[in-house]
Amino acid sequence: MRKELREMRHRVRAKGHAVYRRASAPDVLSECEAEGLSWPRRVARLLRRQCEAETPVILPGERIVFTRTVPSVPPIYSEKEWDALFAAGKRHELGPISNICADWGQLLHQGLLERRAVAEATRAERADDPAAREFVECAMDGVDAVLELAARYEAEARRMGETETADVLARVPARPARTFREALQALRFVQAMVWLNGHYHVGLGRFDQYMGPFLEADLRTGRLTVAEAEDLLAEFFISLNKDTDLYPGVQQGDNGQSLMLGGVERDGADAVNELTYMALRVARDVNMIDPKINLRVTPQTPLDLLELAAQLTRQGLGFPQYSNDDVVIPALVDCGYDLEDARDYTVAACWEFIIPGKGMEIVNIGAVSFPAAVNEAILDGLAHSADLEGILERTRKNIRAQVDAQVDRCRNIILPPAPFYSVLMNDCLEQGRDLSTGLKYNNYGLHGACSANAADALAAVKHFVFDRGELEPSELVDALITNYDGREDMRRRLAREGPKVGNNDDRADAFLVKLFDFLADACEQCRDNGRGGILRPGTGSAMYYVWLARGSEGMAEPVVGATADGRKRGDFFSSSLAPSPGAPVRGPISVLQTYGKIDYRRICNGGPITMELSDTVFRDPESIRKVAMLVRTFAELGCQQFQLNALNADTLLDAREHPERHRDLIVRVWGWSGYFCELGPEYQEHIIARHMHGLT
């Protein structure tokens, strides 16, 4: 990377641009109240005032501009009124629409003015429909506010003598992009506007697909050299890191700026292009936490692409994350997605599969706590002299009850209007309907969390109690209730000698498969989630590996005490798809063989196999090639999603003691990566523990 870019990266990391941030956001609430504005009009007004409050800032040497100067999103309702809006139903997370993905290609090909013209036409056509009229007016107001800010940026660029930048801004985002630079600028600017409007986890979608044609045209006509294009792309990637400290998330870094590379086109043709490779190269060299890279693969993906991806993994960022088209696309079709749309999938913030421009899906309405379902079944079953079948039946019922409770809780989610975000989706303007009223796909996702510990617990009961008779049911129940107090021998035996998920051992894997079958059965019972969609079961755990073990404020699921896999109360669970922490596991191939057994045709919400490899595995090109082969093996074994980390345990330990020496150390946490030193202590602890149990 050029020196100028390295310096830019350094300045962004040091948050040098924060000096341009104002002390506070504009007061929007007063006028909303004084004018008695409707909800959609308040959201539109918010964007207008936010745009007006922005001061154009163009940093030295910058070619992809926008620096946020309004640090927060002001309220549009008083707290009381805000709560009242949701009184008849349920608010999802913070409220505003999040964790979906726009059709960025549409923006780049049409420009905001053409989108506005569509709104205008709908307003004329639907003159007798007040809701439609209000919606398109709000959408148009949003477009106008955004374009006014773009014009002020253009003026600032001219004032500074940055003629090229000014010319780019004179063109985009108002009109269709013509060059790679214009397309990157349009995307940067408009994506930032979505954040400014209060949305979060603003996904970037299939970046190489909508951006690739601009790159290819510029390279073909000689407008750009490869090196120049890489510089622009690097600058764009760096710019996505500017405001990450302002974004809401469980921990800093959890901001959902994920993008997808590779895969197939809507007609099924191979979609890998020049930009697929370039984005991997540039992400490797930029080496920052945003954007989070995903790569679609199949067993036929060429090794050279996977080798490049492995070089990115070596940086320790925890990406790319891989998803297997051969598994994901048929599963989405089974779920009711049109084949062309299924081929167009990307990921939401972490790992859930969604369709850009077409999905108002809530991919993470919650989690089913497998450990709670299993632990209760074991305690109750053993206390009532149940056999293994009886325990499994209780487990099935518990899972069903948890799913039903989740569905009930989410039956009536109220989504706030999002008129500007709707501009960026398919058919909202055309039909005069805000995206919050629904898009083509409106499914919910529900994850089965901490599956490995739960499966291991069932396997331990079968093995030690029923098959071998080495443990009396009452002994085990007592030990679980007393947190193995005075029974350390028993605990160790359960923890070390039982069958464990991750060893390609059917004695444990069969229970893993069963748990997910139970989850899929329960989800299939729910034919309508209340928004005309279904419930998609998934395999992710997000923060539940910590929360279910230790509790978290406001969490509905109970904290789970000691479990029959030899885990003591308070110890972490497994994260997404990974063997239980500390379980003896032979290695990566067995882990993949185990997880290849899950029926992903039914378990289609996503959630990766997570695996830690020592950074020594990446030390030479030959080993990098083997990592690429490991990814190919993942695809060949029919697994769904895979997230590989390169870690060095000594570095992590040192970083905990001496954060000042490791300010730039990046680690994968769950569906996202963050700076190790900025994580809460419990997350630091889990990452260290995970690596101590690492595979190689």
| Residues within the interface to another protein (CB under 8 A) | 492, 496, 504, 582, 586-590, 593, 613, 617, 620, 622-623, 626-627, 629-630, 632-633, 636-637, 695-696
Angstrom distance (rounded) from CA 686 to CA 696: 18
DSSP reduced 3-state for 319:
coil
Residue closer to another protein, measured from CB, 33 or 636: 636
For residues 562 and 484, is the Cβ–Cβ distance under 8 A?
yes
| CA gap 364, 358 in Å, rounded | 17
Query: Minimum distance from CB of 479 to another protein (Å)?
Result: 18
Nearer to another protein, 16 or 587 (CB): 587
Decide whether 440 or 586 has the Cβ nearer to another protein: 586
Residues 6+ apart with CB under 8 A from 578: 452, 502, 591, 609, 610, 611, 690
Distance CA 169, CA 521 (A): 52
Cα within 13 Å of Cα(613), Cβ side: 30
**Residue 581 Cβ, how far from another protein at the closest point, in Å?**
12
Least distance in angstroms from the C-beta of 480 to another protein: 21
The residue behind tokens 């008083």 is: 78
Residue with smaller CB distance to another protein, 636 or 678: 636
Nearer to another protein, 141 or 456 (CB): 456
Considering the complex, what minimum distance in angstroms separates the CB of residue 588 from another protein? 4
- The separation between the first and the last C-alpha atoms of the chain, rounded to the nearest angstrom, is 31
Least CB distance to another protein at residue 486 (A)? 17
What is the torsional sign of CA 590, 593, 599, 600? positive
Handedness of CA 404, 405, 408, 410 (dihedral sign): negative
Distances (CA, A) of 679 to 350, 405, 659, 673: 17, 32, 11, 10
Which residue lies nearer to another protein by CB, 381 or 582? Answer: 582
Closer by beta carbon to another protein, 159 or else 496: 496
Rank residues 40 and 582 by Cβ distance to another protein and give the closer one. Answer: 582
| Pairing status of strand 346-347 against strand 292-297 | unpaired
Q: Reduce the secondary structure of 445-495 to three states and give it as a string.
A: EEEEECHHHHHHHHHHHHHHHHHCCCCCHHHHHHHHHCCCCCCHHHHHHHH
Q: Which residues, at least 6 apart from 19, have a Cβ–Cβ distance to it below 8 Å?
A: none
Burial class (CB in 10 A: 0-12, 13-18, 19+), 216: middle
Question: For residues 296 and 590, what is the distance between their CA atoms, to the nearest angstrom?
Answer: 22
Least separation in angstroms between residue 294's CB and another protein is 23
Contact (Cβ atoms closer than 8 angstroms) between residue 265 and residue 342: no
Residue 326: closest CA among 638, 604, 48: 638
273/504 with CB nearer another protein? 504
Q: Report, in Å, the least distance between residue 277 CB and another protein.
A: 23
* 512 vs 637, beta carbon nearer another protein: 637
**Closest distance of CB 503 from another protein, Å:** 10
Q: How far is the CB of 620 from another protein (least distance, A)?
A: 7
Cβ pair 248, 94 in contact under 8 A: yes
Nearer to another protein, 609 or 669 (CB): 609
DSSP string of 7-64, one letter each residue: HHHHHHHTTGGGGG--SS----HHHHHHHT--HHHHHHHHHHHHHHH------TT-SS
- At position 356, the amino acid (one-letter code) is P
C-beta closer to another protein: residue 396 or 632: 632
The nearest distance, CB 495 to another protein, in angstroms, is 10
> Smallest distance from the beta carbon of 629 to another protein, in angstroms?
4
Beta carbon of residue 596, minimum distance to another protein (angstroms, whole number) = 11
Write out the H or E segment, with its range, that includes residue 536: strand 535-538
Q: Cα–Cα distance between 237 and 233 in angstroms, integer?
A: 6
Find the shortest distance in angstroms from Cβ 693 to another protein.
Answer: 9
User: Least distance from C-beta 303 to another protein, angstroms?
Assistant: 10
Q: Whose Cβ is closer to another protein: residue 496's or residue 658's? A: 496
Q: CB of 618: closest distance to another protein in angstroms?
A: 9
Structure token digits, residue 153 = 């940026």
ω into 320 cis (within 30 of 0): yes
Residue 97 or 630: which CB sits closer to another protein? 630
Nearer to another protein, 398 or 590 (CB): 590
Whichever of 128 and 622 has its CB closer to another protein, that residue is 622
Q: How far is the CB of 496 from another protein (least distance, A)?
A: 7
Q: How far apart are CA 152 and CA 69, in angstroms?
A: 14
Classify residue 530 as exposed, middle or buried by CB count within 10 Å of its CB (0-12, 13-18, 19+): middle
* Least distance in angstroms from the C-beta of 571 to another protein: 13
In angstroms, what CA-CA distances link 58 with 159, 177, 608? Answer: 11, 21, 39
User: Coil, strand, or helix at residue 112?
Assistant: helix
**Residue 613: how many CB atoms within 10 A of its CB?**
22
Q: How many CA atoms lie within 13 A of 550 on its CB side?
A: 11
DSSP secondary structure letters along 133-191? HHHHHHHHHHHHHHHHHHHHHHHHHHHTT-HHHHHHHHHTTTS---SHHHHHHHHHHHH
Q: Which is nearer to another protein, 225 or 616 (CB)?
A: 616
